Amino acid sequence: MKAIIIGAGRGNRLMPLTDGLPKCMLEIGSKTVLDSMLEALRVSGMDDVVFIGGYQIEKIKNEYPYLKFCHNTDWQNNNILTSLFYAEEEMDGAFLASYSDIIYRRDVVERLLQSKADITLVVDTDWRRRYCGRLLHPESQAEKVIVKDDKVVQIGKHLNSDEAYGEFIGLAKFSKRGAEILKTTYDEVVDKYQDQSFHQAASIQKAYLTDMIQELIDRGHAIHKVDINGDWIEIDTEEDFERAIKEFGA
């Protein structure tokens, strides 16, 4: 099992903190965001880590030379889904996919690893509480999920908050078969939707991972979930950064 961390973007909403610095290298207490992620992965037995970089990738390479790197050279013009597939050659078996601007505790990773399903998402069921007072990143921006019969049936920021079961935190597991399903589907849609809208995205190049998850759902693939109740935080704005220091800085 390997981990693939998607971290090519600049993090414009964290400016000026990310002026010349990738947001995964922001310090939360004595550790960077990436330090905390790697620690949670490592103590769960995951040492094979691939980092997909773009903005200021050399700084991450210099600081973490032991990681494998894939370079999203067109990061300014694409989004998370396309960025993930810069590491397609690394998807030769089971893997975890993780956003690079989140911090989660080790038990979150361990619970996800216990899933035997082909595709599993980590979902925070206490998500709305975290948006109280979060003015710069309202809950309308949350990647919400709707669940039926214990499986995710809808996902995306566009969903009604009152109908949502929880929020996808940006951490997912794909078995070897799940990885093959993901790659095969991507190869089909990337040709079909060139410069066309794809689910909630204006084009396949601008698609989120959640757009692909919805495509898999629509094709009849089962998307399972692991529920958590907090124990993570997203760092998307300066407001989030200050909150992360208070909650995770120690």
Burial of 91 (0-12, 13-18, 19+ CB in 10 A): buried
Residue 249 pLDDT level (bands cut at 50, 70, 90): confident
Q: Which residues of 207-236 are buried (b: 16+ CB within 10 A; e: fewer)?
A: bbbbbbbbbbbeeebbbbbbebeebbbbbb
Flag whether pLDDT at 61 surpasses 80. Answer: yes
Least confident of 9-13, 61-65, 220-224: 9-13
What pLDDT is recorded for position 156? 98
C-alpha span between 70 and 4 (Å, rounded): 10
**Inter-residue contact 179 to 53 (CB < 8 Å):** no
Query: Where are the strands (E) in 48-162, listed by range?
Result: 49-53, 68-71, 95-99, 102-104, 119-124, 144-148, 151-156
Flag whether pLDDT at 250 surpasses 90. Answer: no
Total count of residues recorded for the chain:
250
Average pLDDT taken over every residue of the chain: 95
Least confident of 18-22, 67-71, 141-145, 212-216: 18-22
User: Average pLDDT in the 18-22 region?
Assistant: 93
Q: Hey, what CATH class is 2-248 in?
A: alpha beta
SS3 131: coil
Flag whether pLDDT at 160 surpasses 90. Answer: yes
| Greatest distance between any 2 Cα atoms in the chain | 48
Residues 86-101 have pLDDT tens digits of 999 999 999 999 999 9
Listed by start position, the domains of the chain span 2-248
**pTM (predicted TM-score):** 0.96
What pLDDT is recorded for position 90? 98
- DSSP state, residue 26: -
* CA separation, residue 118 to residues 5, 51, 95, 96 (Å): 19, 22, 10, 11
Flag whether pLDDT at 162 surpasses 90. Answer: yes
C-alpha span between 163 and 196 (Å, rounded): 29
Flag whether pLDDT at 106 surpasses 90. Answer: yes
